[in-house]
Amino acid sequence: MIEEDKKSWHEDDLFSVELFLDLANVERGFRDLGYCRIDYGNLPHVLLREYGRRLGMAGISNLSSEFGLELLHSVRIPTAVCRAVWCVTSVPVNFNPNDTELVRRRRRFLAFLRFKHGFHVEELPFNFTGNHVSKEARKKSSIKKERDWERPEKGVDVALVVRLMQRCLSPDPPTGVIVVSGDADFAPALRTVTQDNPGIQVLVAAFSSRLSNVYRLNVEHGYTWQWPPIILDGFLDEFKC
């Protein structure tokens, strides 16, 4: 039914958008502002809406929703539709046994993102070499100095960049990309996408406390962007559980 509606309707006015979520960066941004319990299901909705505003079109996070179909049949304007949310994060392995329940909660949360919200979640192992997972627990343990606890490279940013490039170079690339992270490590890949695939509209979304200056609309750092970043600070009320 949905596919038929898309084909019989103004198909050329439907723009597929894919989100690439650096979960750690987003979680730290929420914590910076004192928010711990978040409805991540609203994140694609907010991002698609703001994406649409910048590009002068409507934006919906779910074409199959009642709201999405009603929008398509009532307002004949270009519409951005969320095709996929790609999420890469780390999962602790070889951690202190006292943190077992904490790790279980983390894995339940990731399962929730998959099955409730339909996110594509990729988990990378984060070897804690028997140490505590939480910083608070580490401070109370015999490990007194941060340098005594060597933080291994997680590779989350690299994995997310790889997924981004795979999708943009695929036979069926998205017409829009939103990278939900303010980390400067993504800037070279995004510049490559905008230069080699000018038809793909690229936006960055992040909290102001986590947004690198390379994403500001200036040329001081050698980057130029199509659109200003989406600052998530202004939408906190929509993320509350």
Structural Rg of the chain based on CA atoms: 19
Q: What is the pTM of this model?
A: 0.84
Q: Which domain holds residue 166?
A: 2-239
Answer whether residue 79 shows pLDDT above 90.
no
The Cα-based distances of 120 to 113, 116, 134, 145 in angstroms read 8, 11, 25, 36
Q: Are 92 and 99 in contact (CB under 8 A)?
A: yes
Q: What is the mean pLDDT of residues 204-227?
A: 82
Q: Are 203 and 230 in contact (CB under 8 A)?
A: yes
Tell me which of 138 and 131 has the higher pLDDT.
131
DSSP H helices in the chain: 2-8, 23-32, 42-55, 66-74, 100-115, 135-140, 156-168, 187-196, 236-239
20, β-bridge pairs:
86, 179
Domain count, the chain: 1
Tell me which of 70 and 227 has the higher pLDDT.
227
pLDDT, the chain, mean: 81
**Tens of pLDDT along 7-40?**
443 455 778 999 999 998 898 888 888 877 788 9
List the CATH number of the domain containing 148.
Answer: 3.40.50.1010
Q: What is the mean pLDDT of residues 78-100?
A: 90
